[in-house]
Every structure is written in structure tokens, then in C-alpha cells.
Chains A and B, each alone.
Chain A
Amino acid sequence: QSALTQPASVSGSPGQSITISCTGTSSDVGSYKLVSWYQQHPGKAPKLMIYEVSKRPSGVSNRFSGSKSGNTASLTISGLQAEDEADYYCCSYAGSSLYVFGTGTKVTVL
């Protein structure tokens, strides 16, 4: 099972919106509404930001939103803030009780 493909880096200025893509296959992202997104600051554990494609856990800012089309899921961060600078990973259920993560995207706030 190959890792889901994410852009290595995405950047934006404060207040702007950015979108991170997560491309899989018809065996994972394309087949299930079970895509999640994680934020990871340096030296810290990942934090769940989005689950089941577009749902936000309690306490996560509504500036974070998720969507999916075909084999590609997306995470959008609106009103970009300095604290959003981190690495972001997508994850999808891939059938057969298997999970696959994305390659990771470094978000830089200019």
C-alpha cells in the first residue's frame, strides 16, 4: 500500500486561504468517507483536525475544513495564522483493516 500523495510544501500570507491536496486511489480515498487530517508541530505529536472527510473535532477552529472529490481529499485553512505553520498529514482507511498516511505537507506562513 503506497502512501497518499501530498504536496511537499504550501505557503500563504496571514489571512489568506490555502488548500492541501491528498491524492490516493480508488482503493483508499476514493472508496471510503474515512479521510482524516492531522496537524503536527515540530517535536510534538500529531493532532486530529478533521475526520470522516469534513467533520471537525470539538475545539478545532472552523477555519479548518475538509472535502473530497474522487480519489483526492483536500484540507483548506482559511484566515491563515502564524500558529497554523506546521506539518499536515492526511490518512485514509484503505480496506482490509489497513490505514495509509499521506506523505506530509509543510505549511509556511509568510
Chain B
Amino acid sequence: QVQLQESGPGLVKPSQTLSLTCTVSGGSISSGSYYWSWIRQPAGKGLEWIGRIYTSGSTNYNPSLKSRVTISVDTSKNQFSLKLSSVTAADTAVYYCARGGVVVAEDAFDIWGQGTMVTVSS
């Protein structure tokens, strides 16, 4: 079955760029039936959708983060990535990658990575 795994630095300095990668295993990221999202959760708080990418390269971002976010995909490596620039302490959170449905389970996130904690601190 398809599994997602986040990877990247757990500590990022303020004003720098947070970079995370999600590796998809057990299936191809290139399936047209899905898109690939990033979602984050500050400690003790709720979930926030960051953005998504289709394997065509088409992206959509949360307007509240749009000026700082870039999501990209590398189909040859079965991976997609998140870059968040100019980070502050408010960006400290657990970051999840997730699969979203285009046809089945439309616009629901049916598979999630385990999450990776990113702390913004000097």
C-alpha cells in the first residue's frame, strides 16, 4: 500500500528557508487520480492546509502563506517538496505530507505521512 514519509531538518533558524521532502512508496506519485499536499499543526493546535501539487506541476497555495511557499515535485524520485521562506517562530509545527483524492474520496486526504517536527529557533 502507498506510504508517505517526510524528511528534512528539524531545526531552522529565523529568516531562513524551511525545506522538507515527502517520499512516496508503494505506488507511483504520477497517478492522475491524486494530488499531493502539505499540512501543518503547531503544538496543541489545529491543522492548517499549506498547499498542493499535481504531478503536472500545477500548484495551489493557502493565501495566508502564498508569498512564502513553494511546492515542487520530482516524479523520477517519487517525491514532492515544500519550501517555506522567511520563517519565524510561528512556523514551528509538525509538518505532514498527505495524498488528496481527485476522483475517489474527492478532496479528502486519505493517506498521511507520520509527520515531522520543525522548530524555528536561533
Chain A residues within CB distance 8 Å of chain B = 1, 3, 32, 34, 36, 38, 44-48, 51-52, 55, 57, 89, 91, 93, 97-104
Contact = CB atoms under 8 A, between A and B. Distances in A.
Contacts, number: 68
B23 to A, nearest CB: 15
Contacts of A47: 112
A34 B102 CA distance: 11
B46 A89 contact: yes
A1 B50 CA distance: 12
B114 interface: yes
Counting contact residues on chain B (CB < 8 A from A), the size range is 20 to 34
A103 B46 contact: yes
Interface of B: 37, 39, 46-49, 52, 60, 62-64, 96, 101, 105-110, 112-115
B107 A101 contact: no
Contact of A101 (B47, B101, B110): B47
Nearest to B37: A99
A44 to B, nearest CB: 8
Contact of A51 (B48, B63, B108): B108
| A-B interface, 10 closest residue pairs, ranked by CB to CB distance from nearest | A51-B108, A97-B60, A36-B108, A45-B112, A99-B49, A101-B47, A34-B107, A51-B105, A104-B46, A93-B107
